[in-house]
A and B are shown apart, each in its own frame.
Chain A
């Protein structure tokens, strides 16, 4: 019988769902706060405190840029909020630079205290929440410049593999010239735009299916 060591089956390890019980293993306290020192992101109500082994929040230094809060809910086909999903984000800093060795643009400043990566479990009401800074613009294909955006991964029970989408911001005029939004059918683009709900606060709901199904990408 073949197994993972058999040369004839070598290839990408297949995706499998995170299932419903990932909370003590993946989203650490503070995972959804990219700028502060709060403990948002984890769901420690779902297991005994002496089984909390993940990272504890540390206070972050001063991160440059406009602080923003992004909240939203994750919905299934019937519009029912999903309480056992997890959202991951990946973004550039306010100067438009990624905290990654593969972003070699040394002319742009790195924030030593900004990793650009976050995780938020959804609450019992299906809501996630991130505290971060608004990302700067980054290059797109060819000589284009992308509008400010955040890459998003959606995980959960019933999601065999990650769904990938993006958050854009409704108050960014550059959305009109964004090379990725341009690839999305016009009538569905609004599913990728976070609504501004106040000073520095945005709402971005994610519909896995149904009337306003969010656009998901093949990357």
Chain B
């Protein structure tokens, strides 16, 4: 049997599946309690071959088309860590976002803001042996949505991580500092107050590239390992 130690469970900072202020959760969240199971080899393993699945890195979202996209150029860097602050090397971070005007390149986004023919908003980076990553994009805009009267999403970038195992999967969104929309956004507010700031990037002059792009830091923390080796949890 595998000697791989189990991963920690979700911590108290994770949001619930049902958060009525985010209206779409009401009909799309389970009502029965989750069935707690031990982590078996199925949950303790995960796809390592991200490059064979997804292809190579796409770390500059501003150079994917003929011209340059409109908007404030930014560079986002950070480290993927686990809860014990160990770097997570060679893992894929998938990125998607709207353009500077707050419009997604998507048929179902019908908000009347301009599409940028030079901006898709999809990228992908791979962490180095210290778990570090970096990419360049343009700062996304805020946009209205139909959740409630005068609802606006704060500017955000979507991130998707596989991590080392099925159990470490994470999809999140990060926000920008000093954005007044975060406090009134039901999706951000589904996360308990004590953990909400984990989703806010920090402006960083060291990451900022002279005469080129403003820099932000965003570290991503995946589940860590349980202290005791994996054994029959039943």
User: B residues near A, CB below 8 A?
Assistant: 1-2, 4, 8-11, 13-17, 19, 22, 24-32, 34-49, 52-55, 58, 64-65, 78, 83, 85, 94-96, 98, 104-109, 120-122, 156, 158, 160, 164-167, 169-174, 177-178, 187-188, 190-191, 194-202, 217-223, 231-234
The 8 Å CB contact of A149, one of B9, B42, B98, is: B42
Find B32's partner among A25, A54, A78, A215 (CB 8 Å cutoff): A215
Please report whether the interface of chain B is mostly helix, strand, loop or mixed according to DSSP: loop
Nearest CB in chain A: distance from B86 CB, A: 13
Within the complex, which residue of A5, A26, A53, A142 is in contact with B64, where a contact is CB–CB below 8 Å? A53
Please state if A100 and B17 are interface contacts (CB–CB under 8 Å): no
- Given A14-B172, A14-B191, A218-B9: A161 in contact with B37 (beta carbons within 8 A): no
Interface membership of A68, Cβ < 8 A: no
Q: Are B187 and A17 in contact (CB under 8 A)?
A: yes
Known: A99-B49, A151-B43, A215-B35. A162 touches B165 (CB 8 A): no
- Report the Cα distance A58→B204, complex, angstroms: 40
A23 within 8 A of B: yes
Contact indicator A82/B28 (Cβ below 8 Å):
yes
Chain A interface bracket (under 10, 10 to 19, 20 to 34, 35 or more): 35 or more
Q: In the assembled complex, which residues on chain B have CB atoms less than 8 Å from the CB atom of A19?
A: 158
Chain B residues closer than 8 Å to A16, beta-carbon distance? 15, 156, 158, 171-173, 187-188, 190-191, 199
Max chain A Cβ within 10 angstroms of own Cβ: one of B41, B78, B122, B158: B41
Question: What is the minimal beta-carbon distance from A96 to any residue of chain B, in angstroms?
Answer: 9
CB distance from B101 to the nearest CB of A (A): 14
* B55 nearest CB neighbor, chain A only: A55
- The CA-CA distance from A188 to B31 in the complex, in Å, is 13
Is A12 on the interface with B (CB-CB < 8 A)?
yes
| Contacts A/B (CB < 8 Å), 19 sampled | A11-B83, A12-B222, A13-B170, A14-B195, A17-B22, A24-B106, A24-B120, A51-B120, A88-B169, A117-B46, A117-B47, A141-B234, A155-B171, A179-B40, A184-B35, A208-B28, A208-B29, A219-B43, A219-B167
Nearest chain B CB to A186 CB, angstrom units:
12
- Complex formed: what's the CA distance from A98 to B231 in Å? 19
Q: How many angstroms from the CA of A32 to the CA of B59 in the assembled complex? A: 25
Scoring A residues 1 to 31 as 1 if CB is less than 8 Å from chain B, else 0, what string do you get?
Answer: 1111110011111111111111111101001
Q: In the bound complex, what is the Cα–Cα distance between A25 and B158 (angstroms)?
A: 9
Q: Would you list which residues of chain A between 89 and 135 have a CB under 8 Å from chain B?
A: 90, 92, 98-104, 115-117
B122–A24 touching, CB < 8 Å:
yes
A208 x B30 contact (CB < 8 A): yes
For B169, the chain A residues whose CB sits under 8 A away are: 88, 153, 162
